[in-house]
Structure 1
Amino acid sequence: MDWEDGTDLAFLQRLTEHWRTDFDWRAREARLNALPQFTAELDGVGVHFIHQRGTGPDPLPLVITHGFPGSGFDMEQIIPLLADPGGHDADPADAFDVVVPSLPGYGFSQRPTRPGFGPEHVAELWMKLMAGLGYERFGLHAGDWGAAVSIWLASRFPDHVSGLHLNFVPGLFRPPVGDGEPTLTAAEEEFLGAISAWFDAEGAYHRLQSTKPQTPAYGLTDSPAGLAAWIVEKMRAWSDCGGDVERVFTLDAILTNISIYWFTGTIGSAMRFYRENRLRPNHFAPGERVLPPLGIAAFPQDLIPPRAWLERVFNVTRWTQMPRGGHFGAMEDPELLAREIREFFRPLRAHREDPPGLTS
């Protein structure tokens, strides 16, 4: 396969032919519908979320937020591992009440009809969602744009966040540097060079979606083949697949993700999230700290900042170099990631306030 210039033609032809002739959406739909799903109106936007109550003596509320190009259904495999650890050869005491919202404009969440729905504002919406569910204090796990949302949430509402666990840190995250701040370490200098090189080689989509998302939205909303090419190229490039995307994802798994975008017509609203973030990015002032404990699961295929870079802002209490995996950790190796999430939150459970009962 030749992916140097973008999605390989032969692969795309095979993928779209499978979509047209063999893909059984109704079977995938029934599988997804086995998850308990709800909607909540938050600031005038209907937000779709999965809410799986935990099976254990004292489940810890946990908000998991996805990124691009995905939806809350990215967490299909990891939800039962976290909600019912006792049913999956783990300790029932590690159970979570798992809440997985889809970002506004993604999947089955409504598309905002006005600007302003970027990561910071979505953090406010998640706070409202959890309060509406009766949760006063909760943990966070995320990657990709979910990490940006979760960082804002932990920064602005630290009294409500027991811990923040990430398997990705947005490349545009910037701690304070320069006058009065510690000198950059060699690892930090190397990371900044690597980020710059990555954006130069791979970041054209990011620049386009951050500045003019409406223009590509017309073509990707009009052409299922174009949409498939746009999404699968990222699923291949960002996963730990060694260049063979089917080593990690089946065609049906790829097409389930693409179909959600296609049937809901949300590729344009999903891309707009990039522009919203550019207008209000995660930058921190000198002396500003994010107080809740931070845990990092560093998958080898992802470009993760060095620990020193994050310790400029965060209280890093756990850092795990994962043995395998990439950007889509919850899909690529859900058991590995679930185990890491359980271990990060285990010592934090003893220090949390018991949440009130859920509203009916």
Structure 2
Amino acid sequence: MTDPLEKARQIADDVLFPAALEVDATGVIPAAHLDLLAGAGFYGMAAGQVADPPRIVEWLAGGCLATTFVWMQHHGAVRAVADSGRPDLVEQWLGPLCRGERRAGVALGALRPGPPSVRATPVDGGYRLDGISPWVTGWGMTDVLHTAAREAPRTGDARVTPRTGGAGPAVETAIWALVDAVPGATLSVRPLDLVAVNASATVEVTFDGHFVPAERVTATLPYARWGARDAAGLRMNGSFALGVAGRAIRLLGERALALPAELDACRATLDAAAPDDLPAARAAASELAMRAATTLTVAEGARSVLRGHHAQRLVREAMFLLVFGSRPLVKSALLTLVSR
């Protein structure tokens, strides 16, 4: 089989979905699931090795959201290494990451608005990281964390503004680096107990003077420019919700009524959305996932509340997607939709 989309559909329907209830109940993703995605070439998706990534994610999320969620965290590191402009990083990391021989997670909590949760301090040979990064997924299933931190403007640091050529205000810098996902004296974790996708092994990571060598830094960027870059990720996040909605709709069959058409329209809107329109489109996808899952629950009746039924799992996963990766504009749009 050479068609990536058909390959993703087959993996989702024949492997991931039949095991999804057990994964949900045990809180453990079989290593074979991630190995299968690596063997299919899907770990190289962010490097352009797989066509139609949004649909690939959608199909896999409709099979097992927990497995897809862990796998999806990997791609930020792949893209960062590929775009780093550093031959040393590309040579050492890109091939193994794309083949799934090295697997990555993300620790991006420091990029949230407000005071940074993780600070980067320049030291000889690299940076020292201090602080807490919440919501780090895939602990124990990843080799490295693509970690963000913010470097405070240095004393006396004034940057030249392009418009005037004069000295402007000091600029806070965001840095990204590949940090080994290994606990120790300067890196510790606290597991988080989630009501959905708990098998994702999501933890809170604490850095206490953790050293990162300069050769592990993938990028630096003025923090103020992070927002525009972050918005681009909303399209792919929407595929998680479309996957959950699609699975509920397929389980409903003829009882789905107008939901299949809504799913197609929601996907088309996400595909066509300009950056400013993505928050509303992403919110609509999450709202549809919840509505499709609750429709399945009502249609199936009392048995839906049994642990062995997919409806209760999909409702909890849809709830998770109402808040996962949310941004102020997404939250505002969702509040409008769910309060109608």
Shorter-chain TM-score tier: under 0.3
Bigger relative contact order, structure 1 or 2 (CA pairs below 8 A, ≥6 apart): 1
Q: Normalising to structure 2: TM-score of the pair?
A: 0.23
| Greater Cα radius of gyration, structure 1 or 2 | 2
